[in-house]
Amino acid sequence: MRPVTITRRRLPVAGRLLGVLTVTVGAVLGGIPAHADEPAAGAAATAEAPKVDLVLDVSGSMRAADIQGKSRIAVAQQSLNEVIDGLPAETEFGIRTLGATYPGDNKAEGCKDTKQLFPVGKTNKVEAKTAVATLRPTGWTPIGLALRGAAQDLGTGPTTRRIVLITDGEDSCAPPDPCDVARELAAQGIHLVVDTLGLAHDDKTRQQLLCIANATGGTYTDVRTQEQLTQKVKQLVGRAGETHNVTPAKVTGTDVCESAPVLSPGVYTDREKFSEHRVYRVPVKPGQELRASVSVTPDRAVANDYGVLLRATDTSGQELVRGTDGSSGRTDVASTGLRWSAPAADKSEKAEKSDKKSSAAPGADGSSDAAGRPVCLIVSSSFAGQPGVQAEPGLPLELTVDVTEASPAPDGPAMGLGRGWILLLVLTLAGLLTGLVFGWVARWRIAVWREN
């Protein structure tokens, strides 16, 4: 008996049958909606890189050796070296000095002493660190003039830029007064934030640095150690990368929902005093989901135990959901968030609205169903200042609000049962066709064997 060779004759038949199986299963599976989120085609690329200009005081008072036994300038130089080493690749970073070059007694000349040490751009770390190492405490303290110069270093554009000012004293050259310069820059609408770090701890310096930061929506930090300075500057540089694409809008919350500002989706900044509540309103339509988060920055010395609470209530004060401190591990900010879905309108409500059409009267809270019923967002914190710390102005607060279509319940009866029946049908068809294929192949092999 000749050996049976079935490979060349069997493959076309099996291939055709398996092709039918593939097409059939594919057609059925094609009707199942995909659940993976695909990135939007043609997503817009970032127009600009994050930009940070660090303004360093190199005036004569920076010689003082009162930070962990080191001079203030030595502490600043060591911290800058660590910051430069850890710069994000995408960040454009520059350094401007004040009081670094004029050693004389002529105040008129000394108060012009500010220059760009390293231009804002992609950082050559060796060159930047070498430039910092050459600095020696020298002259006066023209902070106002240096802030204007730093704003020019950063240029203008649609995204937020940051100036980080490190100094051990108040301006000794006014005019221009640095607070007035900060207000001037803020009024120009150039999306410029100034964060201030004080190496000395007298009240006049603290008040001036707070004033500069407050005018531009920045933060003030009272620096006590080299580690604290390094960590804070790194955080501010990192924050530039997080926020440079979005410029938060300034808003002022109230203490009651009825008079609270109405917020649309976006990012907002405000100030919250110790033991104060800040209230905002967000319209949410039936079937929509509210997503909100808040971050509060302790920009001065506060008590060790603190937290942040974000609540959503209706206009009567009934709580809908709350989010407590997220415990991110960061010490420079306390944050939390929440999500709440508005219940969808039932059929009777929809029918009634259809009959009334657009003539429905506004609700008691002053809004209609078409615009969405307002949800009250209440921000509360348990911050308390350490002895001698001023409560004014309030702590910097950043609120993010988004309203989207509510996600369908993953285990809902309609969606879950529908998908289950489709899967069962696919498996049944697959099993049936597979059985037919192997049955036909077995019968064909037996017939060939008998012929031979």
Whether residues 92 and 149 share a domain: the answer is yes
How high is the mean pLDDT of the chain?
Answer: 79
Note whether residue 382 is domain-resident. yes
Q: pTM, whole model, 2 decimals?
A: 0.56
Whether residues 145 and 86 share a domain: the answer is yes
Q: Is the pLDDT of residue 149 over 60?
A: yes
Of 215, 243, 271, the one marking the end of a domain is 243
Note whether residue 419 is domain-resident. no
Whether residues 91 and 216 share a domain: the answer is yes
Whether residues 270 and 189 share a domain: the answer is no
User: Which of 65-74, 154-163, 262-271, 405-414 is modeled with the greatest confidence?
Assistant: 65-74
Whether residues 149 and 230 share a domain: the answer is yes
Note whether residue 140 is domain-resident. yes
Whether residues 237 and 177 share a domain: the answer is yes
pLDDT at position 417: 44
Q: Is the pLDDT of residue 227 over 50?
A: yes
Whether residues 235 and 289 share a domain: the answer is no
Note whether residue 102 is domain-resident. yes
pLDDT tens sequence across 356-373: 443 444 443 444 455 668
Of 191, 221, 243, the one marking the end of a domain is 243
Return the CATH number at 197: 3.40.50.410
The total of structural domains in the chain comes to 2
Dihedrals phi, psi of 188, to nearest 5 degrees: -75, -10
Whether residues 94 and 179 share a domain: the answer is yes
Whether residues 255 and 390 share a domain: the answer is yes
pLDDT tens sequence across 264-318: 988 898 988 888 899 999 999 998 889 888 888 777 777 877 788 899 999 999 9
Q: Which domain holds residue 383?
A: 251-345+368-405
Note whether residue 46 is domain-resident. no
Q: How confident is the model at residue 159 (pLDDT cuts 50, 70, 90)?
A: confident
Whether residues 204 and 301 share a domain: the answer is no
Note whether residue 171 is domain-resident. yes
The pLDDT of 34-49, averaged and rounded, is 46
Note whether residue 224 is domain-resident. yes
Return the CATH number at 267: 2.60.120.380
Note whether residue 287 is domain-resident. yes
Of 243, 266, 299, the one marking the end of a domain is 243
Whether residues 69 and 133 share a domain: the answer is yes
Q: Is the pLDDT of residue 86 over 50?
A: yes
